[in-house]
Amino acid sequence: MKKLLLLAFTAILGMSVNAQESLLSERPDGVVKVYDRSGKGIKLQQGDGGSLEMTSLDLSKASEFEVVFLADNKTVYVKNPIVALPETFSDVSDRWVKGSIEGNRITIPHRSLILSIKTDQDQTLNIYMGYYGIENNQASPCSPSVDVTYTINGDKITLDAPGTDKVYVLSCIGEDDSWFRMSEYTGAFYTLNQEKTANDITSVEKENNAQAIGETYYDLSGRKLSEATKGVTIKTIKYSDGTQKAVKSISK
């Protein structure tokens, strides 16, 4: 049924699906943090007449919000920033979108690519992410456009709104900024799942005999620590050959 939904979706644009182009579907190496979603979204479902209709999405029932923090302390990758897309179409695998981090703010550029579909006319349909405003039941793109931002506050991440004058959603958008409806409402927040985070920490390393030349500690909310503290922390080890790894450290 989900495959039929995908076909119906492309019919909106007068296209049919042939194959999906490859995007970043594998989790990058780095320090992984897993968050439980909370909030509301919009997904699509097939109506009685075969058309796609909007329906509410409870984010707490969707897959987790994951962030990979790279060792440069500047780059992050976010998995499925608009979870309504894979919730609507099971054909769509996980997508990782690149962003930057400065202080407690994550920024993903406006119109970052999240899906690319090749049509049977050998055309490419690209789907991007961006803010839309909703006022008087009418949706319109932000003008001028703004980058997507998230604010980290302890063990929570919040999807920021670009303004307070109306309701805003983070949406799937087209090349021409057309609204594809699948969205997450701003104000959605993501709470760190410490159990899953502790189990999902991955290494940024290769097997070698290089000498360790430095260690950096972080708590599970991403704050840099001067030294290991009681409880679970993340230790990043740098090696003389330029490689590094992140490991879970438990101190009592």
Average pLDDT of adjacent 10-residue blocks, the chain of 252 residues: 49 43 75 95 81 90 94 92 88 86 95 81 83 94 94 96 96 89 97 82 51 71 65 69 63 58
Say if residues 184 and 83 touch (Cβ distance below 8 Å).
Answer: yes
Position 251 scores a pLDDT of 61
Angle formed at CA 63 by CA 103 and CA 194, multiple of 5 degrees: 55
Position 45 scores a pLDDT of 83
Q: Is 159 exposed, middle or buried (0-12, 13-18, 19+ CB in 10 A)?
A: buried
Position 56 scores a pLDDT of 96
Position 199 scores a pLDDT of 59
Position 71 scores a pLDDT of 84
Position 48 scores a pLDDT of 76
Position 18 scores a pLDDT of 40
Buried b (16+ CB within 10 A) or exposed e, 211-250: eeeeebbbbbbbeeeeeeeeebbbbbbbbeeebbbbeebe
Position 23 scores a pLDDT of 72
Predicted model pTM: 0.74
Position 40 scores a pLDDT of 98
Say if residues 43 and 80 touch (Cβ distance below 8 Å).
Answer: no
Q: Name 220's Cβ contacts closer than 8 Å, sequence gap at least 6.
A: 33, 155, 192, 194, 197, 198, 232, 233, 234
Position 22 scores a pLDDT of 44
Q: Name 143's Cβ contacts closer than 8 Å, sequence gap at least 6.
A: none
Beta-bridged to residue 33, according to DSSP, are 67
